Amino acid sequence: MRCVGVDGSKAGWLAVSRSSDGFAFAVHAQPHELVAAHADAAVIAVDVPIGLPDRGRRASDAAARAFLGRPRASSVFSAPVRGVLGATTYAEALQLHRHFDDGRGLSAQAFGILPKIRAWDDLLRHDGAARARVFEIHPEVSFAALDGGRGLAAGKKTADGREQRLALLGRAFDEARVRAVLAAVPRRLAAPDDVLDAFAALWSAERIAVGVACSLPARPAPDANGWIVAIHY
């Protein structure tokens, strides 16, 4: 079963998959372009919140922070409530979020990727086939699972963090081929940590495809749309 790991990058969405001679990558500007380009994929695992609360916080985000522990727990931000998806400025989003979430605010980080969340949400609302194939992951959760359930000590943008993540991916894939993709992806399209995160997503995607993946929380609940809200690994 063909699988795809996806991470957001400066040029859009970086997709990594297995090929006949190793791994292939492609960058797509929009989610619908990515899904169409990988129509034969059984699983597409992407680092983006899927399923949003009407009020309050997602159990999946809290569970992921607990799973990672310090210092990597800070890499998991609380997904916004659905009512802010149409906001175009941070001030507007903050006001709406406080209205819908009992006075709680919205992080600048969450607002920064609001267009990306909105694009995937829009795709999944209108494409039932995509909903069956697209799953949420978080790269740091995947890396922690690769390391025996421990959040990594080094940050992903540091040299030590990059080498640690490469070593972990080497346990799941051929490290030389992972390094080859890392060298081949133009930096104007994606940063090195984006490439490694996409590989972590691919690792999770392949686990989902064969039915051995776990999720946070272990017993996820649906959102108001009926979508399962969980981070898979």
- The residue-averaged pLDDT of 214-230 equals 95
Find out whether 9 and 27 touch, Cβ atoms under 8 Å: yes
pLDDT band for 72, please (50, 70, 90 cuts).
Answer: very high
- The residue-averaged pLDDT of 192-202 equals 98
**In the Cβ-directed half-sphere of 224, how many Cα atoms lie within 13 Å?**
9
- Exposure letters 168-181 (e unless 16+ CB within 10 A, then b): bbeebbeeebbeeb
Please write the tens of the pLDDT for every residue from 9-64. Answer: 999 999 999 998 899 999 999 999 999 999 999 999 999 999 999 998 999 999 99
Q: Looking at the whole model, is its pTM more than 0.85?
A: yes
Q: How many independent structural domains does the chain possess?
A: 1
- Look at residue 15 in the predicted model and tell me its pLDDT: 98
Please write the tens of the pLDDT for every residue from 119-141. Answer: 999 999 999 999 999 999 999 99
Find out whether 70 and 223 touch, Cβ atoms under 8 Å: no
- What's the domain range around 46? 1-233
pLDDT at 71 over 90: yes
What average pLDDT does the structure give for the chain?
96
pLDDT band for 101, please (50, 70, 90 cuts).
Answer: confident
**Interatomic CA distance for residues 84 and 98, integer angstroms:** 10
